[in-house]
Structure 1
Amino acid sequence: MICTEQLRITPIQHGDAHILRFEVCDPERGWRTVLSHRAVNKHRPWEKDEGTSVEDLEVAPSSGGSAAVFTEIADHGANGLIRRGEIGEHGIVERITVESANRLRVEVRDRLTRSGVLLARLMNHYYFMPDGRAMGYALPLDFAWLPGLHDNEEHVAGEWFFRSPCAIVFAHGVYAAILPNLDRMQEHPDLPHALDLRAWHHPGSGETYGLPRISYGICRWKPDGHVLTARDDAAPVSGTEITYGFDLLIGTGEGPESIVAQVTELLWDKYGSRYLKDIRPQVMPFEEYGKRYTYKHELKLWAKPVSCGIRKGYGIDNTLRRGVNYHAWENDFQAGFGLMHYGRKWEDDHLSSIAEGMIHLRLSSPRRDGAFPCVYNVDTASWEGAMYWTSWPAHPIDGYDLQSMGVTAWWMLYWYEQYPDLERGSEVLNWIIDFCRFLVDAQLPSGAIPTYFDARLNPAPQLKEDAPTAIGGAVLAKTARIVGDPEMERAAVKAGAFMNREIVPRMKFQDFELFYSCAPRPLYWVDPLNGIPPVNTLAVQWAVDHFLALYQLTEEGQWLRQGEYCLGLLSLFQQVWAPNRFGKAYLFGGFGVMSCDGEWNDGRQSRMVPTYADYYLATGKIEYLERAVAASRSAFAAMDMEENHANGINDYRVTMAEQVQV
């Protein structure tokens, strides 16, 4: 038995086996069960007979069953337990050690009788049972997190999603979280791993009803669709020993904020800060990427002059996306920000003229009551509403997209603040003010700002009251601070209240990319096994920016606290390690996209840098600065250039068995 002031682990006899119950000490309620390997159920409350479900360590395939395999148990040091068991060709030892007040280290070692043993899964399972209760007591979970979601019961979160891997559950004031030991994974890159969180079985299915279960371990998986991962058939294991480990966090809490902070801080302290000490994937000073490659070669190919009356405009002509983009994905004001910076630093008039030309082109576009189109088609010399496949709910040619307009205006604000001597700075600000007037007029009584509008500015029903509100709220808040406009301030705060009430508690960080891009989900889809909604990083980032802008506008600490919580959620998508299973590529620092797609080092990591840097400036927390640096370094990792190839930076390897295209 383990018993500290905060934790208690009690062995339970189950036949010949020893299973465990995990409890925490609640300051107000005493000892409370959080996790257990056994659940007692009744189909009818008046019946005396009880059904017992047991899940501990799963060994598959196994002819002997694997509900409870540990037949020996003993103390392991002052605050540890060791369990041993044999099943088939497996001799398994599990060690549990107290690491801190609410953290346990779990290590599993499986000694096989021979090389070539077939294995599909070797996984630890835990029922999440607040107060020892099953039968739906913990559902719906107050908070749940899994890096990859399910469409059906065969799906698991394979390590393809292990950027900042964890499974988290929270209900009735208690929580549990599993964090895989990434160092152990690096030692055995040939072994596939998976996390899981599932909570649903029909009452008549014969399975455990209404009982969340978190899991981690060795699990054969395969890609299924774009992009989920499903359990795969058994395959022979080379060698005669398997090891893996994880941190198990259990405790009490008032909400998910402290839990997410604890998880992200642990992942960064344990892995991220160490990987940051290796300067890779950066291979040269940041400005040299521009001098030697981007500005020297790519800019010549893509930057196109555009006539803007008496002025010469410029734009990056993205021919695959219908021209110059001021979109939530690619946006000329992001690229132009760097052009302006280095044009001035290097006294390069050509770079500066391109950056200034981007302003000229943007300010030349038509507007309707402050709303503006976000794609300039160079071939037809005409403006289009937004990227067509991401804005079908509005008319893609003549309609308007809050997400693209908001991101554009947000970057224009960076320009206005960082380059106060812009030739057309006052016009840039007036443009943003007009857009803010549109946002104020478009805001709904709920505080939400619709995402899509038709040519007459009628809002579309899709995503009408959803997370893209935040990018509009962010622009309103920052502009209100600059110009001192009380109407904008009221609208920004009202949008923040909507986000606090409707989006953040429900984890509804959803935008165009979840529903209208390459990995679409049906509108308002949730994971059918655990109720987790799909989450996209852009929507989270907009909330993060919105809350910080509100804090800087109002100086009310609640907005900063909410912003840091959302920043923690965003951090769960950042790659805190460089898994060697995927080749020599140093994948540290980059970002994925969403909880139901498979990107590593997506293009958005460069867009995350200002957000983390802004929070560092607001709080002084060094982790935010380190994450910003890591994201910035990773933004150059995919460049097709000699130095990256020579250092293996983008030498990705994906096995044929995984069948995943990078």
Structure 2
Amino acid sequence: MYKLGRLLIPVLIFSLSCSGDSQKIPSWINEYIALIDYGQIESVTPDVHYSVLSDDILKVSVVFNLKNSVRQDDWQVNITPAFLPDFHWASHLTPTDKHIIGQHVFRAPAITVASSEKKLTLIPDLGLLKEIPLVDWYMDLDARSNKITLGMSKSKVQEHVLFVREPGAVFPPGRTEFGFYILVSDKKESISNPFRDAAAFLWKNWGNDAFQSMASGFVDLERYVEHTYNWAFDTWKESVWQEFTLNGRKVGAPVFIVNTTQSPNYPGEVNEREFRSIWNQAWFSSLRSASGLYRYARRTGNEKLLEYANKTKELALSFPQENGFFSGLIATEMEKVEISGKKYNRSKGWDTYYFGNSNRNPYSRNARVSPYHILDMSFTANQMLLWYLELEQDERLLDYAIRYADALTETQFENGFFPGWLDLKTRKPLHHLNESPESAMSVTFLLNLYKITKNEKYRHSALKAMNAIVENIVHKGQWEDFETYWSCSRYGSEDLVGKKIERNNQFKQNTLSMFWTAEALLECFYLTDNREYLNLGERTLDEMLMYQASWQPPYIYVRTVGGFAVMNADGEWNDSRQSLFSELIIRYGEELKREEYLQRGIAALYASFEMMYCPENVATKEQWEKVWTFFNEKDYGFMMENYGHMGVTSPGGLGIGEFTIYDWGNGAASEAYNRIVDHLGKKFLPSGINKTDKSSP
């Protein structure tokens, strides 16, 4: 059992040293912190040192010198704010007293609490984590008790993916050091955007150096794009490329998902992971990937790749519309095939095709009967507009988007939001996410359509929806979308939708809806020149950036800087969404003249290729080969969508996956690269040299 040394701040100011700093502990700390309780390890009280770094930043060092090993399940330092916050934010959920924020999810670790007059942020000292600690670090936020906890304990994964304490920690003899930073502010602009100070501090202290090191050791990203297209249209073509005839036209696209059993090197039978399908929705967008392929083929003069891109465009235009609405995927019937006494999942072929919708929803796991999803249709229609605006003025794309837009605006509620899902038959709104930030995707789509048509109906509808999101979502942090509850992390799907976790005073939240909202706010600013949209976009983007890795942990065995998490209840590093986010971060950087954003956006693009199996990714390649020993040069380009998904990693390959989603992996990353090159030029990206010693973490 750990013991608390209860130390009031006024006592600390006069009795504790400043770690060589001649400054006294500043009196302003009393306005923000009422009490710090430092725990003991066994009967040993820590030496606590304070260093004043600026008028609003204090560094705290906690040192134990132990004579012997100590078995102790938990050590804590508990901080009580000196004010009553009404805003609370932590980088992961801890819904009960048993839960903690495990160090596995220390991507940009911080806890912030604020009132209308004061803000307090705590950030672990990542500089002390250059080596894997013998006892893991953690954080916790208990809003009900107005208490912030930092500590050391073993942990284990519970739910998908939350962490709880686990007994069995052993503190070694000798020096054990723990540390954290205290950031405070009473400035109005700092409180109105409670994420900026923490994001800037993390990047300045760790992200910038990690970015510079990564950029100097990275090869030309074009080589990763070459691996992608060689993989999809050559070495893995038999498994990846799908081509068939619809309405008398040859259409095609890379399949939704392939796994390691479909490698040309796999010694066993193919076992397809999911139903064979091609998706056009907000997550897995074959049209988005094809636009990147089109850009690359146009730039390199590759007629064969251009043909593939155009066949995917034809496929998107072949999805039938019902009063303007349309499905999000096309799939084949599946069957179980028995071979040598074992059953394998196989497709019956494209002659058995049917149209359907994403089965990541609250109503059905059967894509054939899943409802229309407004978000998915708006994303796809917007991709059609981007193709029309930037690649070729195929009037069919514009006509398709207009038919959908006219149907979309008819669904808009009086309060400004668009529905979440529509019944397939009646096309009436269903019951979930009818007031959610998913509406932001429709805002961006309608504004792009307004640019082309100058039809005021689309502009009015878009701004009405944007204002609804601003008034109801942004400041509450209610970033709920389909992935928040109805993908792999289903915690809270039964009883938390639309509700905060009381202990944290936070919603379960997802980074996708932050992105759609930040994108829509920037578009609204461009349209109206209203600075408030830009300010709110910056706040939203900064909250999203608190899910971006700002350092290289020693316990994550691939490069991490720039990579993104999914949400505050999942375990991924380097998730593929970073390719979607990259250019938007850069655009904000250009608008706000902020170098940090430019670096973050480029780092996100680099991280988009980090999980690729190829010789350029030395550390990642080693991890792949420890798990899939048959991989060789024919598999270059294979790329899992993230790393450490289940909340655990190891140097032996734990954390590496077994599938590639082209449209949420290598194809999506390549699209982002080709789009950024088209918009900004290759000279915008750092031209690295392949240095093996710097390509490994």
Distance 1:12 1:517 in 2: 50
Question: 1:468 touches 1:511 (CA, 8 Å); kept in 2?
Answer: yes
Q: Deviation of residue 623 (structure 1)?
A: 2.1
Distance 1:442 1:658 in 2: 52
Q: How does 1:12-161 map to 2 (within 5 A)?
A: 12=11, 24=28, 33-37=31-35, 56-59=37-40, 62=42, 88=43, 90-114=44-68, 116-130=69-83, 138=84, 141-161=85-105
Across the aligned residues of Structure 1 and Structure 2, the Cα RMSD in angstroms comes to 2.9
Match of 1:303? 241
Partner letter of residue 57 of structure 1? Y
Deviates more, 1:620-629 or 1:507-516: 620-629
Q: Deviation of residue 408 (structure 1)?
A: 1.7
Question: 1:185 touches 1:244 (CA, 8 Å); kept in 2?
Answer: no
Match of 2:119? 175
Deviates more, 1:500-509 or 1:474-483: 474-483
Deviates more, 1:245-254 or 1:648-657: 648-657
Q: How does 1:94-493 map to 2 (within 5 A)?
A: 94-114=48-68, 116-130=69-83, 138=84, 141-200=85-144, 211-254=145-188, 256-279=191-214, 283-296=218-231, 297-299=235-237, 301-318=239-256, 320-378=274-332, 379=350, 382-390=353-361, 392=363, 396-398=367-369, 399-419=371-391, 421-422=392-393, 424=394, 426-455=395-424, 456-493=426-463
Distance 1:599 1:97 in 2: 34
Q: Deviation of residue 477 (structure 1)?
A: 2.0
SS state at 2:561 partner:
coil
Deviates more, 1:386-395 or 1:183-192: 386-395
Q: Deviation of residue 314 (structure 1)?
A: 1.7
Match of 1:66? none
Distance 1:222 1:113 in 2: 28
Distance 2:601 2:64 in 1: 40
Aligned length: 578
Partner letter of residue 223 of structure 2? E
Q: Deviation of residue 430 (structure 1)?
A: 2.3
Question: 1:24 touches 1:251 (CA, 8 Å); kept in 2?
Answer: no
Aligned with residue 531 of structure 1, among 493, 500, 505: 505
After superposition, the Cα gap between the structure-2 partners of 1:410 and 1:624, relative to the gap in structure 1 and judged at 3 Å, is farther
Q: Deviation of residue 590 (structure 1)?
A: 1.0
Question: 1:591 touches 1:601 (CA, 8 Å); kept in 2?
Answer: yes
Q: Deviation of residue 214 (structure 1)?
A: 1.4
Distance 1:587 1:530 in 2: 27
Distance 1:165 1:282 in 2: 26
TM-score computed with the length of structure 1 as normaliser? 0.81
After superposition, the Cα gap between the structure-2 partners of 1:10 and 1:195, relative to the gap in structure 1 and judged at 3 Å, is closer
After superposition, the Cα gap between the structure-2 partners of 1:302 and 1:335, relative to the gap in structure 1 and judged at 3 Å, is same
Match of 2:532? 558
Q: Deviation of residue 641 (structure 1)?
A: 2.5
Distance 1:331 1:396 in 2: 16
Q: Deviation of residue 284 (structure 1)?
A: 3.2
The structure, 1 or 2, with the larger RCO (C-alpha pairs under 8 Å, 6+ apart) is 2
- The structure with the largest strand share of the pair is 1
Partner letter of residue 102 of structure 2? G
Match of 1:546? 520
Q: How does 1:4-15 map to 2 (within 5 A)?
A: 11-12=10-11
Deviation string, structure 1 residues 40-86 (Cα, Å, up to 9, x no partner): xxxxxxxxxxxxxxx511236x4xxxxxxxxxxxxxxxxxxxxxxxx
Question: 1:223 touches 1:660 (CA, 8 Å); kept in 2?
Answer: no
Match of 2:544? 570
SS state at 2:284 partner:
coil
Distance 1:432 1:490 in 2: 17
Instruction: Point out where structure 1 has 5 or more consecutive residues left out of the alignment.
Output: 1-8, 26-31, 38-54, 63-87, 131-137, 201-210
Question: 1:151 touches 1:527 (CA, 8 Å); kept in 2?
Answer: yes
Distance 1:433 1:189 in 2: 57
Match of 1:5? none
Match of 1:505? 475
Match of 1:41? none
SS state at 1:481 partner:
helix
Deviation string, structure 1 residues 524-549 (Cα, Å, up to 9, x no partner): 34323122111101111111111111
- The structure with the largest helix share of the pair is 2
Q: Deviation of residue 142 (structure 1)?
A: 3.3
After superposition, the Cα gap between the structure-2 partners of 1:649 and 1:499, relative to the gap in structure 1 and judged at 3 Å, is farther
After superposition, the Cα gap between the structure-2 partners of 1:155 and 1:294, relative to the gap in structure 1 and judged at 3 Å, is same
Partner letter of residue 507 of structure 2? P
Q: Deviation of residue 239 (structure 1)?
A: 3.9
Partner letter of residue 243 of structure 1? E
Distance 2:655 2:75 in 1: 27
Match of 2:599? 626
Match of 1:79? none
Partner letter of residue 389 of structure 1? R
Question: 1:507 touches 1:533 (CA, 8 Å); kept in 2?
Answer: yes
Distance 1:560 1:199 in 2: 30
Distance 1:342 1:658 in 2: 36
TM-score computed with the length of structure 2 as normaliser? 0.77
Partner letter of residue 278 of structure 2? V
Q: Deviation of residue 150 (structure 1)?
A: 1.9
Question: 2:95 touches 2:504 (CA, 8 Å); kept in 1?
Answer: no
Distance 1:577 1:254 in 2: 29
SS state at 1:277 partner:
helix
Deviation string, structure 1 residues 629-660 (Cα, Å, up to 9, x no partner): 11111111112223324676757895689998
Question: 2:242 touches 2:253 (CA, 8 Å); kept in 1?
Answer: yes
Question: 1:189 touches 1:581 (CA, 8 Å); kept in 2?
Answer: no
